[in-house]
Chains A and B, each alone.
Chain A
Amino acid sequence: MDTLFKTSSEQSQRGAIVGVGVDIESVDRFRKLPYTRNVLFYKKVFSPKEIRYCRSKKESAMYFAVRFAAKEAAIKAVGRKVKNLCEFAVGRDTGGKPTLGMEGLPHLAFHVSLAHTREYAIAVVIAYSK
């Protein structure tokens, strides 16, 4: 809860919330879609950096699924169509906390929270003006 309060405080200092989005994905869908046989799909959705990061993990499907959920949640939060899912980049800050950035919308910033089990991945995104 401490993180939530801190996030709300940071948000109020930075600008107004412009949208909130949430998405849930099945991890199994990504298990059934191996990278080596579905490169086109992964390149359409994930940046090279995201692909490298997820593929470096033993259970890469969980990492891909939660990032996909984050991008879908971000689209809902922003409330507009995007030309390329790679416009949204999920990363980590120096403390390991997930981050989300979007090309083409420099006036917006995001708070993102990710969670996954072996079965499901979920993401919540809050978009706010800088």
Chain B
Amino acid sequence: MEKKLYDLLGRILDIPIEKIHDELSPEDVETWDSFNGILIATELEGTFNVKFTLEEVTSTKDVGDIKKNLKNHGIDI
């Protein structure tokens, strides 16, 4: 599951998977803006069959928060 998430983040944010960790945040990644934030959310929804609110998307502070959101939707990651 974590690999799926990291593959998705790496592809959308155009960064190597090795650089992805729980504390990685939009402040660290130039390509992690609101457009890509929404794109990440929609691709996660398609991949993990969940539905995020925009609040969940915009309040995401780092990769760890994405994992928490997925766990809140019943995805074991």
What 1/0 mask marks residues of chain A from 66 to 108 whose CB sits below 8 Å from any chain B CB? 0010001000000001111100000000000000000000000
A85 touches B35 (CB 8 A): no
A41 CA to B41 CA, complexed, in Å: 8
Count how many chain B residues have C-beta atoms less than 8 Å from C-beta atoms of the other chain.
13
Interface status of A38 (Cβ within 8 A of chain B): yes
CB nearest neighbor in B for A39: B42
B38 touches A45 (CB 8 A): yes
A41 touches B58 (CB 8 A): no
Interface of B is mostly: helix
- Which of B39, B41, B46, B59 is most buried by chain A, counting CB atoms within 10 A of its CB? B39
Given contacts A41-B38, A44-B38, A72-B34, contact A83 B53 (CB under 8 A): yes
Interface status of A25 (Cβ within 8 A of chain B): yes
A81 touches B34 (CB 8 A): no
Given contacts A40-B42, A40-B46, contact A25 B35 (CB under 8 A): yes
Contacts of A82 in B (CB 8 A): 54
A83 touches B54 (CB 8 A): yes
Interface status of A14 (Cβ within 8 A of chain B): no
A27 CA to B45 CA, complexed, in Å: 24
Contacts of B28 in A (CB 8 A): none
Interface residues of A (CB under 8 A from B): 25, 29, 33, 38, 40-41, 44-45, 68, 72, 81-85
Interface residues of B (CB under 8 A from A): 34-35, 38-39, 41-42, 45-46, 53-55, 58-59
In order of increasing CB-CB distance, the 7 nearest A-B pairs are A40-B42, A41-B42, A84-B54, A83-B54, A83-B55, A81-B58, A44-B42
